[in-house]
Amino acid sequence: MRHTRATVMRTALRLLDEVGLDGLTTRRLAQELDVQSPALYRHFGSKRELLDHMAAAMVEDAFAHLARPGPGQDWSGWLAERGRALRRSLLARRDGARLHIGSRPVGNQVAISNSVVEVLGEAGFPPADARRAVLVISRYTVGWAVEEQANADRPAPGESREAADADFEYGLSAILAGLRANLADVRASPDGDDLVRGR
């Protein structure tokens, strides 16, 4: 039976939920698809490439419902919702955050990232700093989700989902406050070129 690239990837994501990242082998995936392992390489050149596309699919699903900011919508609230959406997506799958670590942008991921950079540019961020802002939110969110999933089976005393959400929001708000302050500095500066001072 011949499978499409999308079928292989979606089956791999389902298998990830069942067996976790460590149990997701190409042999196990081939068995699930009722093919020989070499057949998978018609769609993906390596397991790493497959994992990259799985991570990309999660990101695309996370942001599918998020449009560009509407007229007058604050960029920071919009960016915060993207961070929340990414966290929800990572936590929705077993080892979702670990899967995302080290992945390379593929498919529509580059276009998605570029669109965020463009929105931040329209808000006044210099291009290099817009890219950095996207990376900061993404890496904070992924790192947070890694910690959450790593400790899911042994929560700290008194820890709850509500507490985890509040703690995540605290960090996200702190990052956004810093970005807003730096953007204000850029707007006030005669040069107006860099968020990071002292360069």
Domain ranges of the chain: 66-188
pTM (predicted TM-score): 0.86
Residue with more model confidence, 190 or 100: 100
Residue showing tokens 């995936």: 29
Asked if pLDDT for residue 195 goes beyond 60, the answer is no
Residue 100 near residue 90 (C-beta atoms within 8 A): yes
How confident is the model over 92-103, as a mean pLDDT?
94
Whether residue 71 is predicted with pLDDT greater than 90 in this model: the reply is no
CB contact at 8 A, 89 and 96? yes
Contact of 172 with 138, CB cutoff 8 Å: no
Predicted pLDDT at 80:
96
Name the class of domain 66-188: mainly alpha
Average pLDDT over residues 50-57: 93
Give residues with Cβ within 8 angstroms of 186, minimum separation 6.
124, 125, 126, 129, 192, 193, 194, 195
The predicted pLDDT at position 108 comes to: 80
Q: Does the pLDDT at position 159 exceed 90?
A: no
- Which of the four pLDDT bands, split at 50, 70 and 90, describes residue 197? very low
- Res. 144: pLDDT tops 70: yes
Q: At what angle do helices 47-63 and 109-123 cross, to 10 degrees?
A: 40
Distances (CA, A) of 146 to 1, 28, 93, 127, 185: 37, 24, 12, 29, 33
Average pLDDT, the chain: 89
When comparing pLDDT for 194 and 71, which is higher?
Answer: 71
Residue type, 33: L
Mean pLDDT check: name the lowest of 82-91, 97-106, 152-161: 152-161
68: nearest Cα among 58, 81, 84? 81
**Residue of 70, 8, 77 lying closest to 44 (CA atoms):** 8
Contact criterion met (CB below 8 Å) for 150 and 96: no
pLDDT computed for residue 199 by the predictor? 41
Q: Are 185 and 175 in contact (CB under 8 A)?
A: no
Check pLDDT > 70 for residue 198: no
The answer to whether residue 181 scores a pLDDT higher than 70 is yes
**CB 142: neighbour CB atoms within 10 A?**
20
